[in-house]
Amino acid sequence: MGLVAVVLALVALAPVATQARVRGSGARSPGGYRLVVGPIAVIEPQRDSHGKRWFTYAVFVRLNRPIPRDGNGSPLGEAPLDGAGGGGGLFLDAYSRPARHCYIQTVENDFAYSRTLKHPHPGAWVTLEVHIQSPANRDQDIALLTRRIRLQRRRADTDGPYYPRRQGCLR
């Protein structure tokens, strides 16, 4: 009887496990968007004028097609980490070729930080959500891509295009 119960439990949980893998695999969203390569989230330690330490994060995302723009030419998208946003949304990465659809966002000190973002360490798992907004109604997402990713430590030699190069944005 014990073996039958285990088999039945595995069969019942199989669709849930499959659905979670598809959602996190970068599968194409209903709006036709997908992540071309794995997104990158980099820890950027900061200090205020009193010496208190806090953190911001740089998020690098490469998509298969461009994000719609508003009347000012700004991309209509954002990429919060664990629900924390800030930084004004996604922007085209300055080092990247525009045809590569590479975007960057700064996730700033936000009161909505999860415990992981308040006390980060390289390798910690966070949830990245890429929201692509409708040009007709900015409160409506035309695509939502979700991925669990690991935080990375900022490398000392990365003032230039290190992360966009890793995502294939410079070729």
Four-point Cα dihedral 60, 165, 153, 133, nearest 10: 0
Q: How far apart are CA 129 and CA 147, in angstroms?
A: 7
Note the pLDDT tens digit of each residue in 21-76.
Answer: 334 445 566 679 999 999 999 999 988 899 988 899 999 999 999 999 998 889 99
Q: Is the pLDDT of residue 6 over 50?
A: no
Q: What are phi and psi of 3, to 5 degrees?
A: -65, -40
Q: 80-91: per-residue pLDDT in tens? A: 999 898 778 999
pLDDT tens track for 109-130: 667 789 999 999 999 999 999 9
pLDDT band at 168 (very low <50, low <70, confident <90, very high): very high
